[in-house]
Amino acid sequence: MQTGEVRITGKFAKIAVMALIFSMVGCGGGTPKSTLQPPPPPPASMQGAWIFLFHSAVSNGCFALEANLSQTGNHVSADKTSSIVFQPLTCTHSTIELQLNQLGGQCNGGGMDDITVDATASDIAVSFTLSETGGLGSAVTTVSASTDGTSISKGTYSTPAACGLPDDHGTVEGYQDSITFSGEHYAGTFNGGTDAIVAQFTTSNFHMTMSGTDNGTSFVLSGSTVGLSLYLTGTIAGVEVNWFGIYDPLYNNFNIYNSDSTYVGSLANTP
């Protein structure tokens, strides 16, 4: 060994090499650190009252789903107490008032269907499953659409063959609507003109009361709202009623039907 030369051997050599590596990393050597990614945007808020209109590409028919949606995170749902399917005469939103053709969907066997909705929402899209059980069996409809939280667009749906009907598919549109008729006065004639109804509605968290007069005799009905639909039960002039109504926000009026889908009458806003 030459004079002035220092040789490091054994475990001291290993320590020296490791120290050299760490010093190189600290000075910019080695693998660069990963860049933190921003968190994903929150899902669109879809909680509230909705109406969805399904337009069949197979039969040229349509059906409507109304639901009071609940949301936790990106999970959106409605159970059978807060969702309903019915078949309107037409499915054109905001251009003609919805009128009832028949309560229930394709599995309806003369009564109301049990409906549930289970959905997953992102900031720009929603996918959900609509499950229907009625007197004729059960059907499951899957939906995929874009959303901004107040409406859905570019929606498509598919329903496999069920309840005696072939498979179906088509397009879906949906709108979130706030209930705006609470506290206003409405009037109309029911049962072919024999009953003059004047009424006022009060709503609270989807619960509803309808108070008014029938040919001057006071009555109070109670029920609930689902989307833009309502259920009302009670007694008017000694007669028990079980009403289903569809509210139209464009014209600010109601069409009222018995539970067997027969037309009873309409109520128009009276400022």
Domain 185-269 falls under CATH 3.30.70: no
* pLDDT band at residue 271 using 50, 70 and 90 as cut-offs: confident
- Hey, do 48-176 and 185-269 end up sharing a CATH topology, with the first three levels equal? yes
Average pLDDT of the residues in 56-60: 90
Q: What per-residue confidence (pLDDT) applies to 143?
A: 97
Over residues 230-241, the pLDDT tens digits come to 999 999 989 999
Is the predicted pLDDT of residue 9 greater than 80, yes or no? no
Average pLDDT of the residues in 182-199: 92
pLDDT top residue among 97 and 116: 116
Q: Where are the domains of the chain?
A: 48-176, 185-269
Residues 6 or more apart whose CB falls under 8 angstroms from that of 25 comprise none
Over residues 98-132, the pLDDT tens digits come to 788 889 998 987 667 899 999 999 999 999 999 99
What pTM value is reported for the model?
0.79
Is the predicted pLDDT of residue 52 greater than 50, yes or no? yes
Architecture of domain 48-176: Beta Barrel (2.40)
Q: What per-residue confidence (pLDDT) applies to 36?
A: 78
Average pLDDT score, the chain: 85
